[in-house]
Amino acid sequence: MSINFDQFNSVVSVFQSQSTALNDKPYLWKKLDGKFIPLSWSQTREQVESIAKGLINLGILKGDRVVILSENSPEWQIADLAIMTIGAISVPAYTTSTTKDYEHIINHSGARCLIVSS
């Protein structure tokens, strides 16, 4: 499959186009009970839309910064896509960072919201 990226103006538009075209095909793989299970493009799109709506309901606006504090996981990418979908800006924070790092990120990023993994 070949994609003409010139027709897209953002990562979100590429994701939306591909999620429509590839609908029920696997997109992300999640480890659950020691096994990897697929998450389809459409399932991912639904989760992205749900989180995006939740962020809007919290009052997050285009240009606002949102910290994602999470390990590398499908949920990280889903949160990142949701943030970009509403025009907000992702501020990554990793679980391996120190308390001092978190303090700096939160105090200097201008973030209005924090998404934390379990």
Please provide the DSSP assignment of 8-67 as one string. -SSHHHHHHHHHHHHTTSEEEEEEETTEEEEEEHHHHHHHHHHHHHHHHHTT--TT-EEE
pLDDT at 44: 97
Among 3.20.20.80, 3.40.50.980, 3.40.50.80, 1.10.599.10, name the CATH number for the domain at 9-116: 3.40.50.980
Structure tokens at 82: 């949701």
**What are the 10-residue block averages of pLDDT along the chain, 118 residues in total?**
72 92 96 94 97 98 97 95 97 94 95 93
pLDDT at 106: 92
pLDDT at 116: 95
pLDDT at 3: 66
Q: Where are the domains of the chain?
A: 9-116
pLDDT at 1: 59
pLDDT at 7: 72
Q: What does the alpha-carbon distance between residue 88 and residue 5 come to, in Å, rounded to a whole number?
A: 22
pLDDT at 118: 80
